[in-house]
Amino acid sequence: MVHAPVSLLPVSFPESYWKQACELAPLFNELVDRVSLDAEFLQDTLSRTKKVDAFTSRLLDIHSKMVEIGKKEDIRLGLHRSDYMLDEQTNLLLQIEMNTISSSFAGLGCLVSELHRSLLRQYGEHLGLDHKRVPGNPAVSGFAEALAKAWSEYSNPRAVVLIVVQPEERNMYDQHWLSTNLREKHNVRTVRKTLAEIEKGGVLQHDGRLLIGDEEVAVVYFRAGYAPADYPTEAEWSARLLIEQSSAIKCPSISYHLAGTKKVQQELAKLNVLERFVEKKEDISKLRKCFAGLWSLDDAEIVKDAIERPELYVMKPQREGGGNNIYGDDVRESLLRLQREGSEETAAYILMQRISPATSPAILLRDGVSHKDHAVSELGIFSAYLRSNDKVIVNDQCGYLMRTKVSSSDEGGVAAGFAVLDSIHLT
């Protein structure tokens, strides 16, 4: 067991941008929900990706089966995290991505905020920092409350929340913090199982109820299932299909999962696409303001520019979890290779404007060793959304995650080993 990698002190962040990010959370929640209900949009948007990306293809197959059998998710739960960076060139808060599956670090992120507040109470005067300027971070209680309310909507007090986990889960304490909160504050029991264990012990009753052993499952909360490595055999895919066919509330459902893909993000950034899902012009304007430049590899002008100036772009596949993106000269090489091969593989990627955040000095702690360096930070806003038919029960921003990494590192995942957990000091 090792401590989570953390920054010794919180990073400065302008309050106006913090408020903007918090205000966007309910809008993005609603947008994900609307997109998830438009099966035709999801299938059409990802149709070319399906041909060249086996993982996305399998997810789309499950989605198609649910459409065919007329499966409706009357109760929909989303525990999301929208990630942003403050771009130094434009002075705009720009969205990096919207995470709709396994939005991690609600548990440990809260503790880091508490740690920093505690340190500033003690040393703040000496450092010129005020502990009251570190915002409260109720992420774990917000997520737990939304899960508990979903569990309550299922209407079986003996049912459990099933947490789907990876076999060799390193980030278990982040998840245990949530389970503890559910048990102690809401009297909700959780069960942890891998997809393989669910395939082995899961049973779908004729009325749609999902049983694991003799436990009925009210809510399935995915902390695995977002990457190809989570499906090493057909057993894991069978488990995913079994869950999807059941009447358990899924977090996320297959349609929520697909709504968070990079290709869908890029499609939503196109002119007049947001209007399909959002009525209010002011909401469309707020959402669009935080969109970074996003392009398909069908855009010949942009591809040409990215080959000439690769430092201005990031090339992204349809993957979650950190460590997957392509940067710098590798962007040029990858685009030239795809052009030479003339393959359909271009549909597996999108191009995104490279965001340039300001650097600041930071002391990073990993494996008990401190390291001072110039660092950049990424703000994630946690949000919870729960809807039962036409009634919205929860639609809230509920905490945040600040991740800081050395400025020379391209990638940004904490679990992937690139970044450390941080909090913010409002300026």
Q: Which residues are annotated as a binding site?
A: 81, 97, 99, 101-104, 169-171, 175, 223-226, 262, 316-325, 327, 352-355, 378, 403, 405, 411, 414-415
Instruction: Give the separation between CA 252 and CA 241, rounded to whole angstroms.
Output: 13
Catalytic residue selected from 193, 263, 316, 387 = 316
Q: Rounded to whole angstroms, how far apart are CA atoms 36 and 11?
A: 35
Is-catalytic flag, 304? no
Active-site position among 197, 403, 412, 423: 403
- Binding residues for ATP are 97, 262, 316-325, 327, 352-355, 378, 405, 411
Tracing tokens 């090493």 back to the chain, one arrives at 232
Residue 251 CB coordination number (10 Å): 30
Catalytic member of 81, 149, 240, 387: 81
**Annotation: binding site for Mg(2+):** 97, 99, 320
Q: Please say whether the beta carbons of 421 and 7 come within 8 A.
A: yes
403 is catalytic: yes
What backbone phi and psi angles, to 5 degrees, belong to 284? -60, -45
Q: Which residue has the tokens 């076999």?
A: 167
Note if 316 is an active site residue: yes
Two tokens, residue 335:
């685009």
> Does residue 158 carry a catalytic annotation?
no
Which listed residue (29, 36, 82, 99) is catalytic? 99
To the query of whether residue 399 is one of the catalytic residues in this protein, the response is no
**What are the phi and psi torsion angles at 287 (to 5°)?**
-65, -45
| Catalytic position from the list 262, 263, 332, 387 | 262
Q: Which of 267, 320, 377, 395 is catalytic?
A: 320
Catalytically annotated residue among 104, 137, 179, 377: 104
**Which residue do the tokens 């990627």 mark?**
349
- Is residue 12 annotated as a catalytic residue, yes or no? no
Which entry of 73, 97, 199, 216 is annotated as an active-site residue? 97
Q: Which helix (H) or strand (E) holds 344?
A: none
Catalytic residue among 321, 356, 388, 409: 321
Element (H, E) at 74: none
Is 156 a residue of the active site? no
Residues marked as binding for substrate? 81, 101-104, 169-171, 175, 223-226, 403, 414-415
Give, in order, the Cα–Cα distances in Å from 282 to each of 171, 193, 286, 287, 381: 39, 43, 6, 9, 21
| 3-class secondary-structure state, position 40 | helix
What lies within 8 Å, CB to CB, of 302 at 6+ separation is: 295, 351
In this structure, are strands 294-296 and 249-251 parallel, antiparallel, or unpaired?
A: unpaired
> What amino acid positions are annotated as catalytic residues?
81, 97, 99, 104, 262, 316, 320-321, 403
